[in-house]
Structure 1
Amino acid sequence: MTTVTPVPVFTLYGESLNWPTPDLLHCESIHSRSSLYEWHIRIHQHADIVQLLYLHKGSAEIEIEGVKTHVSQACIQVVPALCVHSFKFSPGTQGFSLSFSSPLVALFEQRFGQPLEVLARPGCLPVNASRHRINALFSTLQSEYEGDGLAREMMLHSLISALLVWLNRQCCASDGGVQRPQRNKAVMRQFSKLLERHYREQLPVTEYARRLGLSVTHLNTLCHEFHGASALALMHQRLILEARRMLLYSTMTISQISEHLGFSDATYFSRFFRRQVGVAPKTFRSAAASASFSLEKQK
């Protein structure tokens, strides 16, 4: 089986160090890193880091899992661990990048008493009327992070708590304020972790249900409640997400991708991809390459 890493994996973009500071977080201005790379942070991902990108002034083209969005209003982009992403900023863009290691996320989830779902999925949250408060919060965070004042860690954690409360409130507001039972949320979170760990093995739904201590019917009910799709559909979506990534960002052949994703043969993989996406893998790759070429010619 061919083993590749089609998308670069960094701790912080462009760095090979495991973690640059003794802290469990890292805070920096957009200018400090992006200006070193001509304001273009290219496609990459982080294995166990959640990032919050705060855009205060300027504009950016944000690409998340192959989908590009142009943003010019003040906002916070959530980038979960393992999410493939890139940023292309207009020169002089102002804002901050805040990175959390997994242990720190776990610590704050323990303090909140529940999973911070707002950090588990990519999303772009406009700050709207909270712009001045959010800007002051990030500015103070960076100042504290770079300093060595008395009770520095306590101050940093207090500021992060305030930021996470704000983000969580936006998440709840977008869900209409509906609070689902915490146990069901925990089950779905565990299902997501199992799926992330085993999607290439293409385990049957019955095996996921067994490991979660549920019936297949109950698992499907929860999947429909939280995601609007069956467990099998979610398993297929995860396979397609990885297939799209590899077609977009790697030079692997269709046969190699098929093998890497656990399909018995490339023909079956191609039929599966066409059924899910609407076009064959080769057509999808060619169309993406043509679009990128056209964009480059327009610059």
Structure 2
Amino acid sequence: MTLETQAIRPVPFREVRHDQPDDCVHYEPVATRFAAMNWTIPMHCHEGLHQLQYLTEGSVQGRIDDRQVSGCAPVFFLMAPGSMHGFQYSHDAVGHQLTLPSATLARWLAQTPVLEQWLNGSFMLHPCAVQAERWRIGFEQIAEEFESAHPGRVQTLCALTTLMAVQAGRLYGAQAVGEKRYDTRDALARRFKALVELHYGKHWPLSDYAALLGVGQDHLSRACRKAWGLGALTVLNDRLLLQARRLLAYTPLSVSEIAEQLGYADSAYFSRVFRRGVGRTPSEYRVLAEQGIHSAD
């Protein structure tokens, strides 16, 4: 399968809300948009948006950032903000899609930072029969409520969407890291990663992040190593490199334009940083990405 990778741009919420401009979430059956596009969704991203998608029939294949993904129903996808994704669906695909502002989701999950962290990345899930039935019922309730004019409609949509997201986060967390307890160092690492997501393009020194978090740099790095097996500086640099790989693979921007967008005054220095982190020059990586090869990752 070949997915178009030219002229990638973020998709704002207003473009997916249709005729419900006051809703905090937007719902649509997958056939509403996908059939009109010949069941092929080109590579794109959503800045500041989370998208939940659940197929009850049919199959899908595609790419999320640098990962090839595929699955047959029942299958659940969560696309996090900024994550490049594109899919091709079978013509018999049936399912549901929810889109909501990431800030709204973060507000709902403010008291459960573990879930918020798990939902901060894109993933695919194959639910067991029990969970598949829960999601089928839940999404059908959302579909019915979205088309209604009942009192409390928005509150009900918020509650049901939160339930879908929480169930997805729990399942992903159980599969990705297993059931374990999180101590204060895990909480510190998650707070650091949230700050990195907001400010990585500003090239703050690690000392600035540590100062904002009220800890020393060594303490912060120990927390990150416990949570992810990586030092804090590596977490910061990896986020910059991830964005660089996305822009090289999915946009026509030149290397110098990408360097400038990522806050590098010198494109040659950016190229050296990229090669040191990825093992290839930006130009070499772009050629491989165009061929569908991501062995550098």
Q: Normalising by structure 1, what TM-score?
A: 0.85
CA distance in 1, matches of 2:7, 2:199: 19
Shift of 1:235: 1.5
CA distance in 2, matches of 1:244, 1:113: 28
Q: Which amino acid aligns with 2:27?
A: C
Structure 2 counterpart SS, 1:251: coil
1:36 is matched with which residue? 36
Judge conservation of contact 1:9–1:45 (CA < 8 Å) in 2.
yes
CA distance in 1, matches of 2:65, 2:227: 21
Alignment of 1:1-299 (within 5 A): 7-12=8-13, 15=15, 20-110=20-110, 116-129=116-129, 130-174=131-175, 175-181=177-183, 183-291=184-292
RMSD: 2.7
Moved more, 123-132 or 194-203: 194-203
Structure 1 counterpart SS, 2:99: strand
**CA deviation map 1:122-175 (0-9, x unaligned):** 111211222222112111211111112343334334433432342233134222
CA distance in 2, matches of 1:238, 1:113: 20
CA distance in 1, matches of 2:106, 2:260: 34
Judge conservation of contact 1:34–1:40 (CA < 8 Å) in 2.
yes
Judge conservation of contact 1:273–1:281 (CA < 8 Å) in 2.
yes
Judge conservation of contact 1:118–1:167 (CA < 8 Å) in 2.
no
Shift of 1:41: 1.7
Judge conservation of contact 1:11–1:19 (CA < 8 Å) in 2.
no
Relative distance call for 1:20 and 1:161 in structure 2 (3 A) is: closer
CA distance in 2, matches of 1:7, 1:258: 17
Shift of 1:112: 5.1
CA distance in 2, matches of 1:29, 1:195: 35
Structure 1 counterpart SS, 2:88: strand
Relative distance call for 1:285 and 1:142 in structure 2 (3 A) is: same
CA distance in 1, matches of 2:264, 2:103: 35
Relative distance call for 1:20 and 1:185 in structure 2 (3 A) is: farther
Shift of 1:18: 9.5
**CA deviation map 1:59-84 (0-9, x unaligned):** 11232123221222412111112222
Judge conservation of contact 1:55–1:74 (CA < 8 Å) in 2.
yes
Shift of 1:37: 1.3
Structure 2 counterpart SS, 1:116: helix
Shift of 1:251: 2.3
CA distance in 2, matches of 1:236, 1:112: 27
CA distance in 1, matches of 2:288, 2:39: 27
Structure 2 counterpart SS, 1:229: coil
Judge conservation of contact 1:60–1:70 (CA < 8 Å) in 2.
yes
**CA deviation map 1:81-139 (0-9, x unaligned):** 22222222111211111112235313421465865233211111211222222112111
Which runs of no fewer than 5 residues in structure 2 stay unpaired? 1-5
Shift of 1:24: 0.5
Relative distance call for 1:253 and 1:114 in structure 2 (3 A) is: closer
CA distance in 2, matches of 1:110, 1:287: 40
Structure 2 counterpart SS, 1:8: coil
Q: Normalising by structure 2, what TM-score?
A: 0.85
Shift of 1:178: 0.7
Q: Which amino acid aligns with 1:8?
A: R
Which runs of no fewer than 5 residues in structure 1 stay unpaired? 293-299
Moved more, 212-221 or 143-152: 143-152
Judge conservation of contact 2:256–2:267 (CA < 8 Å) in 1.
yes
Q: Percent identity?
A: 28
Shift of 1:214: 1.0
Relative distance call for 1:117 and 1:247 in structure 2 (3 A) is: same
Q: Which amino acid aligns with 1:212?
A: L
How many residues are aligned here?
286
Relative distance call for 1:101 and 1:199 in structure 2 (3 A) is: closer
